Amino acid sequence: MEHHYPSRLLEKAVGEFAKLPGVGRKTALRLVLHLLRQDVESVNAFAGSISKMRNEVKHCSKCHNISDTDICPICADMRRDSTVICVVENIQDVMAVENTQQFDGLYHVLGGVISPMDGIGPGDIEIESLVNRVSEGNIKEVILALSSTMEGDTTNFYIYRKLSSFNIELSVIARGISVGDELEYTDEVTLGRSISNRTPFDKK
């Protein structure tokens, strides 16, 4: 449906919102009209926080997670175990693992996975910097925590080959039946992995 916008300023703002993923022109208009009803200060705070974030946010020079400082709070935290690195695809994954409260090592954010279909090769993601971190010497274990997809598996294998010459433990997060899932409805590949990766009953 073509729209007759009563204002070019409105039309421009709607157009900008509609560029966001999952936001259509109708939703964009609804959001813009909502902002139009808010006071000027709140809207300027909204817009300002976005500009400021984009202009000032950095990437941690060690783990490539986003950060307000050159070294992110996780890498800078001396209470964490700096001999263990958990390799993840992106920032959301760091947040997901942090939310489990089961990990107190450091991270390495690849910024993607190897995906020939999308033209993403090993050189496009942070693998070399991972190898450099390991080659510096005081890493005991690297945990590969990528998605259980073809691309994730390819990336795991590539990293395995790059790190196999180092004297470190290399592990992959467990794949198995989800907590709360019924056996009957679990796919056979997952169930197979669950059985072969079984753990002693009293472990947890």
Binding residues for a second copy (CB under 8 A)? 1-10, 12-13, 15-17, 19-23, 27, 29-36, 38, 40, 43-57, 60, 65-68, 72-74, 90-92, 94-95, 98-99
Smallest gap from Cβ 100 to a second copy, in A, equals: 11
Which residue lies nearer to a second copy by CB, 66 or 168?
Answer: 66
Smallest gap from Cβ 54 to a second copy, in A, equals: 4
Vertex 74: Cα angle to 140 and 163 (nearest 5): 30
Q: Six-digit token pair at 177?
A: 């039946």
Smallest gap from Cβ 88 to a second copy, in A, equals: 12
Which residue lies nearer to a second copy by CB, 43 or 120?
Answer: 43
Q: Which residue has the tokens 């020079």?
A: 61
Which residue lies nearer to a second copy by CB, 54 or 198?
Answer: 54
- Strand residues in 48-165 grouped as ranges (E): 58-59, 66-67, 81-88, 105-109, 141-144
Q: Are the C-beta atoms of 182 and 173 separated by less than 8 Å?
A: no
